[in-house]
Amino acid sequence: NLSDKLDRAFKVLKGQGSITEINVAETMKEIRKALLDADVNYKTAKTFTDDVRQKAIGQNVLTSISPGQLLTKLMNDELTELMGGTTADLELKASPTIILIAGLNGAGKTTFTGKLANFLKTQKNKKPLLVADDIYRPAAIDQLEVLGQQVGIPVYSNRESTDPVAIAREGIAHAKQNGNNVVIIDTAGRLAIDEAMMQEIERVKAAVNPHEILFVVDSMTGQDAVNTAKVFNDRLDFTGVVLTKLDGDTRGGAALSIKSVVNKPIKFIGTGEKMEALDVFHPDRMASRILGMGDVVSLVERAQQQFDEKEAAELQKKIRKNKFDFNDFYSQIQQIKKMGNMKDLIGMIPGVGKMMKDVEVGDDAFKSIEAIIQSMTPKEKENPDLINPSRRARIAKGSGTDLAEVNRLMKQFEDMRKVMKQMSNPAAMANMMRRMP
Ligand code: GDP
Ligand code: MG
């Protein structure tokens, strides 16, 4: 995937005390190749590497103390900028706010409709109504109703009607009568772009005058995603993009090119099939993710949504005081196992993501880590600094692992602790960005 390829490109720079103009050029070439392989379109990749090179020259990367790190920082900034710079919020002032969902079949529209309703209800204190406006497959209405029930949101449907425009209007009237302040309209897609579908959704748009039109696209479809986005944007002038299935192998190549081709903000990313597997899109975090740093901020945020609040507060306090210990680590693993997609979440933990790279990721992924922690004494768990080499040997034996594995966990744990401490302090966080990776 993209971050592996970038990792390789960075090898040229990392650990190198001095750096020459040749290896900046060499690295940029590698990076451009990696971006192209990840379905970033040619123009975007070229502009990106040219800009970074220009800035690298402007900031005297070559004579700075840590050129590799400075270059990485430049890339991080530039990627963030490319993906929109700042987080784009939904326009939710109107009551009811009308949100139209558009995209091809299988992109994840219906799933996202459920996730968005859940998000608006639990995070934004809204009272959404879902409208089933995909009338071509009876199963589509059933699907939305099941999701609505799952997240406790009402669904308006009219199984007798064959007119999507009328159903959308009825849905909005229904919302007004019932005090729903957001209406999310799930529409029909097609397997490929076709004129009838475009005209239908244009008619729905004209009839309901939506405040948001969100274009949902499967990030695994690579370059096709970009082309589809372009066509939908030309016809609908949508207000934002939702990238689904970012829990798979794709690491954001589509995010980069879609933004630069249609110039509309990405507002959400879907990271799994469950209703909770939705994240607000943060360009800076996606940039870090593409560059292979663990996306700790997203992890902590998602954890906070799902952890018992008290526990989360306690954890934050511990992190601030640098008292985060193996008991906390262990209970975090248990929490993580409860949350959405494993692969995705693991990728977000700095260090742990790398450690797990070659492991087949399932719920078993944490088994040896759990075994190691379970083989520690209560004192050791509370005070990891106690764990000297002879204790490590004992733990390795007790857990049926080996010393190298224990050492690796200790190192990752220390790294994680450091990052967490910095994350809890904005000034230190800024400093860390400066020193990354
Ligand atoms: P629609 O045809 O656009 O309405 O697409 P659906 O919402 O029915 O989704 C198609 C398939 O993709 C379903 O099996 C969903 O469970 C799955 N899906 C949707 N979003 C995601 C996601 O973010 N990650 C993963 N892994 N699967 C997703
Ligand atoms: Mg659907």
pLDDT of 9: 57
Q: Say yes or no to pLDDT of 345 above 70.
A: no
Atom of ligand 1 at shortest distance to CA of 248? 26
Give CA–CA dist 11/7, Å, rounded.
6
Residue 294 pLDDT class (50, 70, 90 cuts): very low
Residue of higher predicted confidence among 257 and 299: 257
Question: Quick one: how many helices (H) and strands (E) in the chain?
Answer: 21, 8
How far apart are the CA of 301 and the centre of ligand 1, in A? 23
pLDDT of 186: 97
The dihedral formed by the CA atoms of 399, 400, 405 and 409, expressed in degrees to the nearest 10 = -20
Strand segments (E) across 22-104: 97-102
Helix, coil or strand: residue 356: coil
Residue 295 pLDDT class (50, 70, 90 cuts): very low
Residue 432 half-sphere exposure, CB side, CA atoms within 13 Å? 16
CATH of domain 97-290: 3.40.50.300
ipTM of the complex: 0.99
- With residues binned 3-state (H G I as helix, E B as strand, rest as coil), the percentages for the chain, rounded to 5, are 60, 10, 30
The listed range with the strongest mean pLDDT (75-89, 163-177, 353-367) is 163-177
* CATH number of 2-82, picked from 1.20.120.140, 3.40.50.300, 1.10.287.610, 1.20.1250.20: 1.20.120.140
How far apart are the CA of 62 and the centre of ligand 2, in A? 52
Q: Is 146 in the pocket of ligand 1 (CB under 6 A)?
A: no
Residue of higher predicted confidence among 202 and 427: 202
Rounded mean pLDDT, 248-253: 61
Give CA–CA dist 54/35, Å, rounded.
18
pLDDT of 81: 87
Note the Cα 104 to chain centre separation in Å: 21
Q: Is 228 in the pocket of ligand 1 (CB under 6 A)?
A: no
How far apart are the CA of 5 and the centre of ligand 1, in A? 27
Sign of the four-CA dihedral 161, 163, 169, 171: positive
How far apart are the CA of 108 and the centre of ligand 1, in A? 4
Question: What are the tens digits of pLDDT across the range 304-329?
Answer: 455 455 566 676 677 667 677 888 78
How far apart are the CA of 136 and the centre of ligand 2, in A? 10
Cβ 52 vs Cβ 9: under 8 Å: no
Which class for 427: exposed (0-12), middle (13-18), buried (19 or more C-beta within 10 A)? exposed
Give CA–CA dist 408/27, Å, rounded.
29
The dihedral formed by the CA atoms of 426, 427, 432 and 434, expressed in degrees to the nearest 10 = 120
Write down the mean pLDDT value for the chain: 80
Tokens for 437?
């990776």
User: Measuring from atom 19 of ligand 1, which residue has the nearest CA?
Assistant: 108
Cβ 346 vs Cβ 403: under 8 Å: no
Question: What are the tens digits of pLDDT across the range 364-392?
Answer: 657 888 899 999 999 999 999 999 999 99
Domain ranges of the chain: 2-82, 97-290, 296-435
Which ligand has the shortest distance to the CA of 243?
1
Q: Rounded to whole angstroms, what are the CA distances from 148 to 93, 184, 186? A: 23, 11, 12
pLDDT of 201: 95
Question: What are the tens digits of pLDDT across the range 214-238?
Answer: 999 998 887 788 889 999 999 999 9
H or E stretch at 218: strand 212-218
Which ligand has the shortest distance to the CA of 343?
1
Nearby residues of 125 by Cβ (< 8 Å), 6 or more positions away: none
- Ligand 1: which of 111, 133, 232 to mutate, most ligand atoms within 8 Å of CB? 111
Give CA–CA dist 333/125, Å, rounded.
30
User: Measuring from atom 16 of ligand 1, which residue has the nearest CA?
Assistant: 273
Atom of ligand 1 at shortest distance to CA of 216? 3
Nearby residues of 209 by Cβ (< 8 Å), 6 or more positions away: 98
Tokens for 217?
């696209």
Question: What are the tens digits of pLDDT across the range 190-211?
Answer: 877 889 889 999 999 999 999 9
Known binding-site residue numbers: 103-110, 186-190, 244-247
Nearby residues of 288 by Cβ (< 8 Å), 6 or more positions away: 76, 294, 295
How far apart are the CA of 215 and the centre of ligand 2, in A? 13
Known binding-site residue numbers for GTP: 103-110, 186-190, 244-247
**Architecture label for domain 296-435:** Orthogonal Bundle (1.10)
Give CA–CA dist 301/307, Å, rounded.
10
Q: Which of 130-144, 384-398, 416-430 has the lowest mean pLDDT?
A: 416-430
Q: Is 189 in the pocket of ligand 1 (CB under 6 A)?
A: yes
Q: Is 142 in the pocket of ligand 1 (CB under 6 A)?
A: no
Which class for 362: exposed (0-12), middle (13-18), buried (19 or more C-beta within 10 A)? exposed
Q: Which of 20-24, 206-210, 266-270 has the lowest mean pLDDT?
A: 20-24
